[in-house]
Amino acid sequence: MTRFHDEPVSQDPREEVEHAIRFYGTMPACFDSRSRDCYDCPLEFAHPCPVRVDADYRSLLEAYEEGYRVAQRRRIQQIRILTTILQRQGLRMHWEYLAVLAMQEAPAGLFPSEHSIRAVLIGNPETFRMEMDGVFNLVKRRARG
């Protein structure tokens, strides 16, 4: 559909833009530049373009983008902790045991619950591989050369 994502989430173009920022970190091309390139933007046919003329709307988009960045930093921290535990243990682990260790080692509040750890493991297949029901290991990286 658009460069923002495959399926529209709403008929309202503003909601499309907001969704793309909150979930994918994708800002409209015209946001950071003086570009008039609106091709493939949900707001392409909105005249005047609210991204260019509405300061309150721009502030809202900036807040969404900052929220996305915070969530990404948190995700990176979560992945690092889980990766470190698996590397240190040197073997695959059931997510519940991994969760116990992660909750002990992580800064307070990084993982809201044990089930959030499972979600991180499942949601990052490029880093974690489920080998058996609930048992995870690190994805083996191929040597470059």
pTM: predicted TM-score of the whole model, two decimal places: 0.74
| pLDDT tens string 3-16 | 455 566 667 888 88
Break the chain into its structural domains and give their ranges: 13-53, 73-138
Q: Residue 137: helix, strand or coil by DSSP?
A: strand
- Using alpha carbons, select from 82, 75, 115 the residue that is nearest to residue 96: 115
Task: Return the pLDDT at 85.
Answer: 97
* Token pair in block for residue 65: 């983008």
**pLDDT band of 145, cuts 50, 70, 90:** low
Q: Looking at per-residue confidence, does 85 or 24 come out higher?
A: 85
Question: Which has more pLDDT, 69 or 7?
Answer: 69
pLDDT band at residue 33 using 50, 70 and 90 as cut-offs: low
Report how far residue 118's alpha carbon sits from residue 92's, in angstroms, rounded to the nearest whole number. Answer: 14
Instruction: Specify the 3-state DSSP secondary structure of 116.
Output: helix
pLDDT, tens digit (0-9, with 9 covering 90-100), for 70-128: 999 999 999 999 999 999 999 999 999 999 999 999 999 999 999 999 999 999 999 99
pLDDT at 108: 93
Place of tokens 């959030």: 116
The strand pairing partners of 128, in sequence order, are 138
Q: What's the rounded Cα separation, in Å, for the pair 106 and 59?
A: 33
| Average of per-residue pLDDT across 12-22 | 86
Adjacent-strand bridge partners of 138: 128
